[in-house]
Amino acid sequence: MATLSAYNKKHKVTVVGSGNWGSAIAKIVAENTKEHPDLFEEGVQMWVYEEELTVPATSKHYDSGSKFSTQPHKLTRLINHFHENVKYLPGIALPSNLTANPSLEESVHDSTILVFNLPHQFIGGLCDQMKDHILPYARGVSCIKGVSVDSEDVRLFSEIIGEKLGIYCGALSGANIANEVAQEKFSETTVAYDPPPMDSRNPSQNPTPKAGTPRGTTPASSQLDLTSINEHKDTRGKTSKIKLIVPPADLPPTDHNLLKTLFHRPYFHVQVVSDVAGVSLGGALKNIVAIAAGFVAGLGWGDNAKAAVMRVGLLEMVKFGRTFFANSVSAGTFTEESAGVADLITSCSGGRNYRCAKMSVERNISIEEVEREELNGQMLQGLSTAKEVYGFLKARGKEDEFPLLVGTY
């Protein structure tokens, strides 16, 4: 329910990406901006990679007499006309305050919160394209699962985005199958966001929210005025290369409570933590464990053996995080949050990494062959992650410390 706010400005939100998961997240965000007009502008922009198509014959919108069903149209026009992403999220009604926009530059213009949800290989190019068109004090949340790994380093997609754009960016991850979330079947997620110190404000100098406005005991409600500080620590505990710009004092602080308000729905429960590295690693490493669980299932070793793989995998996920991100990772992120153990359970029960690994054993073919046959050109994230993590651990002589992560490759 909306409440009056002492802040003169409102957050404008853009979702960068419009695939299956991107459209589901955009639906959630648009529902919440409409319900909280004291904090957010109602309208939400969703950047769409433009393509042309006709309404599929399987769609409820198909009409043999309609030009939308007989002639190709821009995907953005179809989304905005039918309020449905007929290609990537068919059958799900999208809020009327969500607008599909083919122009990346226009969609991010004047937005204070950017939600990223796109294939990781496009991060660099899209950030280069938008960096001169965003507000310098914008903040971001990456819904892109996984991390970037090579023999030299492990990098979080959220920090890659932040460095490219010169902003702070958190992460969202959890046991979230996009179609189930879009259908409003109950699920949980974890938002990781460690508010930079310059986003904190002294209530005696800046607007104080009126009673009832969502606020809490986060750094934003501290008694210290840290807005003169433009440095913050990265997930390795080092001073970040990014020199952040302080948001306007009359804009509601982007803190844990604001982000919970933006993403939480009755069917999509949100827990907000500060452990960005732990949440990001959970979304990546669980895919390796899921492949191992799939191999075990395909061999017919039973549920006990699969449970053992999951237990060992979870322990190695925790150890990996605490070994390479010791300054920020909490074991509880893996053992207590949706981004950890819950996502691991879902992935090892029916996720595509698990299913393809199981089929590879059952059919006596390589998992790469299953990938080609079953995924219509899409790639298994677990395969590339397993290879990259193996190379990273081998370069440090730590193969023996992570037998499941290494052995899966």
Give the catalytic positions in this structure. 286
The length of the chain in residues reads 409
Residue labelled with tokens 């995080």: 321
Strands 168-173 vs 154-156: parallel, antiparallel or unpaired: unpaired
State in Å, rounded, how far the first CA of the chain is from the last one. 50
Q: Which helix (H) or strand (E) holds 371?
A: helix 367-374
Q: Compute how many other C-beta atoms are within 10 angstroms of the C-beta atom of residue 346.
A: 20
- What 3-state class would DSSP assign to 44? strand
- What 3-state class would DSSP assign to 225? coil
- What 3-state class would DSSP assign to 58? coil
Dihedral (C-alpha) 56, 60, 64, 68: value to the nearest 10 degrees?
Answer: -60
Residue labelled with tokens 């939308």: 68
Integer-rounded Cα radius of gyration of the chain: 22
List, in sequence order, every residue forming a beta bridge with 113; answer none if it has no partner.
Answer: 13, 139
d(CA 124, CA 249): 31
d(CA 387, CA 147): 13
Q: Is the CB of residue 174 less than 8 Å from the CB of residue 340?
A: no
Q: Report residue 116 as tokens.
A: 């990223």
Tell me which amino acid residue 334 is: F
Q: Is the CB of residue 282 less than 8 Å from the CB of residue 276?
A: no
Q: Which helix (H) or strand (E) holds 53?
A: strand 52-53
d(CA 357, CA 372): 13
d(CA 196, CA 169): 10
d(CA 50, CA 77): 10
Contacts (Cβ under 8 Å, ≥6 apart) of 187 = 174, 175, 176, 177, 180, 181, 267, 268, 269, 338
